[in-house]
Amino acid sequence: MTKNAVQNCAKCGMCLNVCPVYTVLNEEQASPRARLHLIKAYEQNKLSSSPLLKEIISKCLMCGSCAAICPLGINHYSEFMEMRKRMVEDHGEKLPIKSLVYLLAKEQRLKFANTLARVGQNIVPEQFKEKYKLGNIPLKRLPVLNKKPFRSALPETIFPNGEQKGTVIYFTGCATNYIYEDTGFSAVNILSHLGYRILIPETQTCCAIPMLFHGFVEKARQSIKENIAALSQDSVDAIIVDCATCGTALKKEYNLLCDKLDLDKSAVDEISSKVTDIGSFMLANADFFNFKKIQNPKSLNLTYHLPCHLKNSFGNTETMETLLKIIPNINYIKAADFDSCCGGGGTFFYEYPEVSKKIGNKKKETAIKTGADLWLTDCPVCRINLSGNLDENDSLKVVHPVSAISSLLKPKT
């Protein structure tokens, strides 16, 4: 633990009301403050390691809201990650989480598992999908996996249709590569429309956040090194991420791990300085959009969910709203709790389905109240969770903002 962590905690309680888990459970042991103080007691040998301690430390979405509000600048992320590592060493991890980490640690394994899962999705009977759930999400509401990895469907370099304004790297993350190719194709269409040459390095891999957040720090080393090598390219204006959590890894977490994992600090700094979420990139280039003329100009009713990592790691609270308001043919309707956590939290929706469901249901109610047709969010786990919490008869559809925006662009001739 860093010297300025628990020792400095003034017990002010400001982190309590922003914590989604504490808010629904309303018990001190579910609060960020309690987790920090339990870590302190453990480090001072006043509390022994136990499965219960592991459970309390793990029942956290790693959303970062506590760290963002703490007046003393305590980095809860680092504290929790380090403690999770110790807890996994002491008590092991559940088989599904260990299996996920095993797959994510090597791209080839992930590719193979995705092929198998895709076959499974096709042969599992519908009655089975209706009856069983993954955490709080019915199997029938899980996304259909890509037929083939998104990155293998495109060349590594894509030239813009028209004059070239610059070059960007597109870091697709695992979700776009294996689950949501609609996000990938829309992002490429937008970047190309804006005049950028797009590099999609085939050697990029999992951003490593799932491994880091589950305490498998050493297992994450290889993926991080592969990403640093893939993203360290000269003459690149920006590294675009379509997932706020991948962005958190590239922008902040790799930096904090340089010493521990023996990373190339100057390369990590360079990457960190270039990482931009696609919402900010679109807003900065908004003058260069050329939209189609639509008969009914307010035909697309949209609402938006702001991912925690975009808010807490990038400090982007209004970027997407600002962008949506200036795009013609969009009727943006703000949900009252657009910036509160959805309860997805990586694997949290699977590990703690009841807590996740309670958090997700609140979001669902306010989103439905807006009367929107599309619910936008720029995080794939939020998308899985928000969509998974909807019912068959809810008309709301969850997509990445790039899909909505791309559909409005005038095709270039």
Residue the block writes with tokens 């096709």:
122
Radius of gyration of the chain (CA): 21
- How many residues line the site for ligand SF4 (CB under 6 A)? 26
Could you report how far apart the first and last alpha carbons of the chain are, in Å? 58
Largest CA distance in the chain: 70
23: nearest Cα among 344, 359, 335: 359
197 SS3 class: strand
Binding span for ligand SF4 by CB under 6 A among 70-78, 183-191, 279-287, 293-301: 70-78
379 contacts ligand SF4 (rule: CB under 6 A): no
Point out which residues pair with 170 in neighbouring strands. 240
Sheet-wide strand order for 166-171? 157-158, 196-199, 166-171, 238-241, 275-277
Pattern of binders to ligand SF4 over 73-102, x per CB under 6 A?
Answer: -x-x--------------------------
Out of 2, 4, 7, 12, which residue is the one contacting ligand SF4 (CB under 6 A)? 12
Binding span for ligand SF4 by CB under 6 A among 46-54, 64-72, 83-91, 251-259: 64-72
Distance CA 40, CA 166 (A): 49
Out of 61, 81, 323, 405, which residue is the one contacting ligand SF4 (CB under 6 A)? 61
Q: Which is nearer to ligand SF4, 63 or 103 (CB)?
A: 63
Share in percent of the chain as helix, strand, coil (round to 5)? 55, 10, 35
Binding span for ligand SF4 by CB under 6 A among 19-27, 87-95, 115-123, 194-202: 19-27
Neighbouring CB atoms inside 10 A of 235's CB total 7
Out of 24, 38, 39, 60, which residue is the one contacting ligand SF4 (CB under 6 A)? 60
Pattern of binders to ligand SF4 over 172-211, x per CB under 6 A?
Answer: ----------------------------------------
CA distances (Å), 25 to each of 17, 32, 53, in order? 11, 13, 17
Out of 36, 104, 179, 231, which residue is the one contacting ligand SF4 (CB under 6 A)? 36
63 contacts ligand SF4 (rule: CB under 6 A): yes
**In angstroms, what is the minimal distance from the CB of 85 to ligand SF4?**
16
Q: Which is nearer to ligand SF4, 28 or 130 (CB)?
A: 28
Supply the DSSP string of 273-337, one letter for each residue. Answer: HHEEEHHHHHHHTGGG--BPP-SSTT-EEEEEE--HHHHHTT--SSHHHHHHHHSTTEEE---TT
Out of 2, 4, 7, 13, which residue is the one contacting ligand SF4 (CB under 6 A)? 13
Q: Which is nearer to ligand SF4, 68 or 409 (CB)?
A: 68
**In angstroms, what is the minimal distance from the CB of 158 to ligand SF4?**
37
Binding span for ligand SF4 by CB under 6 A among 32-40, 139-147, 181-189, 282-290: 32-40
212 contacts ligand SF4 (rule: CB under 6 A): no
Point out which residues pair with 330 in neighbouring strands. 300
15 contacts ligand SF4 (rule: CB under 6 A): yes
Residues that bind ligand SF4 (CB under 6 A): 9-15, 18-21, 32-33, 35-36, 60-66, 70, 72, 74, 76
